[in-house]
Amino acid sequence: MKKFAVFIMLLLLATGLNNSFAQPKQRVEPVKRNTTTTTKSSDALIPQGSAMIGGAISFVSTSEDGESFYIFTFAPMGGYFVIDNLALGTTIEILKIDDGDPFLGFGPFVRYYLNMGLFVQGKYQFQSQPGILDDRVTGSAAGPAIGYAAFLNDHVSIEPMVYYNRHFGDLGEYNEVGLQIGVNAYLGR
């Protein structure tokens, strides 16, 4: 199962890289607009006042103490650009580990875009897992990520991202490294 998951992730990455280099694409330029206080123009990839909505999925196979398990994540998200290229937002995650009950996660993130499409992200998340007779088990996760926004047009991008999460609390303490594929729409760009 682990080899199959690694094969699928490598296949998706290779397909994405092949499409990036094999086909001539429309280059999405930074937005040129006059600012309200000066006559200088903004060269931001995503200008202040824009919003992003979207989500991502990931599949990770990992092992702890000789036992293998998988983590599947679905994560809708939304953010607002408080300054050019810097978004603050929230994400809701549904994590499923092997045959156990799903975890629900909620928390803030901060993401900064470089003008060439690369971005860095940091997040913190509170997690909860329902238990028997509403006895919930809780934990947290935090970590950095780096990704690339491959714009399909001026408003939609596909975003592969490599991330690291450190999970801690009653849900267990473990490290998670994975590849996440997301799609985001940018409003006001």
Report the pLDDT value the prediction gives residue 98, as an integer from 0 to 100. 81
CA distance 30 to 36: 18
The residues with which 137 forms a beta bridge, in sequence order, are: 129
Distances (CA, A) of 37 to 34, 41, 42, 45, 152: 9, 10, 12, 19, 32
Q: Percentages helix, strand, coil for the chain, rounded to the nearest 5?
A: 15, 60, 30
CB atoms within 10 A of CB 157: 25
Query: Mean of the pLDDT values across residues 125-149?
Result: 85
Report the pLDDT value the prediction gives residue 26, as an integer from 0 to 100. 44
Question: What residue has token string 């780096």?
Answer: 146
pTM of the model: 0.73
Query: Mean of the pLDDT values across residues 9-25?
Result: 51
Q: Name the average pLDDT for the chain.
A: 81
The answer on pLDDT for 34 being more than 60 is: no
Among the residue ranges 8-12, 139-143, 159-163, the one predicted with the least confidence is 8-12
Judged on CB neighbours under 10 Å (0-12, 13-18, 19+), 163 is buried
pLDDT tens digits, 63-108: 777 778 788 889 999 999 999 999 999 999 998 888 778 889 999 9
More confident site: 9 or 123: 123
Report the pLDDT value the prediction gives residue 4, as an integer from 0 to 100. 52
CA distance 18 to 165: 28
Confidence of residue 120 (pLDDT cuts 50, 70, 90): very high
Report the pLDDT value the prediction gives residue 39, as an integer from 0 to 100. 39
More confident site: 187 or 16: 187
Domains and CATH numbers, the chain: 50-187 (2.40.160.20)
